[in-house]
Amino acid sequence: MKKINIDLLLTNASQVVTIVPSMAQNAPRRGVEMSELNIIENAAVAVKKGMIVWTGSSAEAKRNFSAKKNYDCKGRIVTPGLVDPHTHLIFPATREEEFELRIKGATYLEIAAKGGGIKATVRKLRAAGRNGLKTRAMGHLKAMLMHGTTSIDAKSGYGLDMDNEIKSLRIINELAKEQPVEIAVTFLGAHDVPEEYAGRKEEYVKFLIDKAIPAIAKKRLAEFCDIFCEKGVFEIEDSRRILTAAKQAGFKLKLHAEEFAQIGGAELAAELGAVSADHLMAISDAGIEAMRTASTIAVLLPGTTFFLGLKNYAPARKMIEAGLPVALATDFNPGTSMTESMQIIMTIACTQMKMTPAEALTAATLNAAFAIGRGDKTGSITLGKQADMVVWDIPNYRHIPYHYGVNLVKDVFKKGKPCILK
């Protein structure tokens, strides 16, 4: 029998963890489905033109395919590339002094009230040159890739004026074209009320609705619009007005919601048809049900709770048992979660939110891909999807959250191309 010509053949994987989308439809997994990983033992993956064209046993692959490049997994496991659906990639400097202040007893909100937090980063970003911002972000993208992340959401939000939000978004768009990590771009002009609008929040809301959102939409600089929907920042009516304007301008919606206080952000996300609501440590049962009904994905950020030294994590078990699709993300940012590693996020999700390793892996791949509007392209090792894959130097998938604090990645493939072969 004549062999089929392909570009790449991975063979001799002890496990290929495929994580196919929900059987009912091309959708994120919910409930007990989040534990169903669809593992192929002694497996192989065939790739042509950057796409997955076949999965099955290594023995069958060797009989049926002729590849330009062969990759021997040598008993390692293969999973989909990790997806990080919530990052604040563009920032000018770190904030390790705030980390120490929190250790000494200061809270996040106390630090922000004294000019720290988001406002401190805004001041520095406005003074920063674009080359320095881009170089720093490129370094962080390389670190993400090295730790197995092949697709991310990247937000603006540290400019908070027209020029600096556009500067940030343009850098993100350039980076999306210049390196392997796939980026969904998010406009987060409603990250905070900037200092020049102190006491005049309504004017800033009008600026976002009347000027910033139309300008960003016209320039096509972002796919999503996000907002920090929180008590004392942008409350429910502010958020509804801003997000409604964004939706009318053609943006898909995301929300930072119920991070510190229960104000109805989850319900608002469901009402407006948001793709995701993120954080959700203070979510109500009504919020869970509203999001479940609307199919809004819960993006949980346990690294933030961990890094801030807080006790209340998002109720992942309750969400999963209710049938709400759950994803995981790093919340990578200089103030409240300074990590590029989805691996450590999976560990915290398992130990602190009691997600199983299978649920955590689903949440960090397939469901996370749907949370950035890429579920039809990546997040699973499925026929017709991009060949975004990680080869792990571990005996089985449970080791990803179990063996923590080290990088377990051997190799990464993006669209069938090796990115960090060692």
Q: What is the DSSP letter of 407?
A: -
- Flag whether pLDDT at 24 surpasses 80: no
- Flag whether pLDDT at 384 surpasses 90: yes
Question: 386: closest CA among 14, 83, 59, 43?
Answer: 83
pLDDT value for 21? 81
pLDDT value for 26? 83
Single pTM value for the model: 0.97
**H or E stretch at 144:** helix 130-146
Condensed to tens digits (0 to 9), the pLDDT of residues 197-235 reads 999 999 999 999 999 999 999 999 999 999 999 999 999
- Flag whether pLDDT at 346 surpasses 70: yes
Among 17-21, 131-135, 311-315, the range scoring the smallest mean pLDDT is: 17-21
95 contacts 89 by C-beta, under 8 angstroms? no
Structure-derived torsion over alpha carbons of residues 365, 368, 370, 371, reported in degrees to the nearest 10 = -170
pLDDT value for 242? 98
- Flag whether pLDDT at 47 surpasses 80: yes
> How far apart are alpha carbons 232 and 394 in whole angstroms?
46
pLDDT value for 108? 80
Class of the CATH domain delimited by 4-80+380-418: mainly beta
pLDDT value for 113? 81
- Measured between its terminal Cα atoms, the distance across the chain in Å is 35
Q: Which residues of 239-270 are buried (b: 16+ CB within 10 A; e: fewer)?
A: bbebbebbbebebbbbbbbbbbebbbbbbbbb
pLDDT value for 115? 83
Other beta carbons less than 10 A from residue 221's beta carbon: 18
Domain boundaries, the chain: 4-80+380-418, 82-371
Question: 411: closest CA among 177, 78, 152, 123?
Answer: 78
Average pLDDT rounded to a whole number, residues 317-338: 98
pLDDT value for 249? 98
> How far apart are alpha carbons 107 and 99 in whole angstroms?
10
What is the share, in percent, of the chain residues with pLDDT greater than 70? 99
- What is the CATH superfamily name and number for domain 82-371? Metal-dependent hydrolases (3.20.20.140)
Mean pLDDT of the chain: 96
Condensed to tens digits (0 to 9), the pLDDT of residues 256-303 reads 999 999 999 999 999 999 999 999 999 999 999 999 999 999 999 999
pLDDT value for 422? 59
> How far apart are alpha carbons 140 and 157 in whole angstroms?
17
In the structure, what pLDDT confidence band is assigned to residue 23 with cuts at 50, 70 and 90? low
Q: Where are the beta strands (DSSP E) in 4-81?
A: 4-17, 39-48, 51-57, 65-72, 77-80
Torsion sign, CA atoms 371, 372, 377, 381: negative
pLDDT value for 67? 96
Condensed to tens digits (0 to 9), the pLDDT of residues 109-136 reads 788 888 889 999 999 999 999 999 999 9
pLDDT value for 20? 87
In the structure, what pLDDT confidence band is assigned to residue 25 with cuts at 50, 70 and 90? low
List Cα–Cα distances, 419 to 9, 163, 180, 388, in angstroms. 16, 34, 7, 10
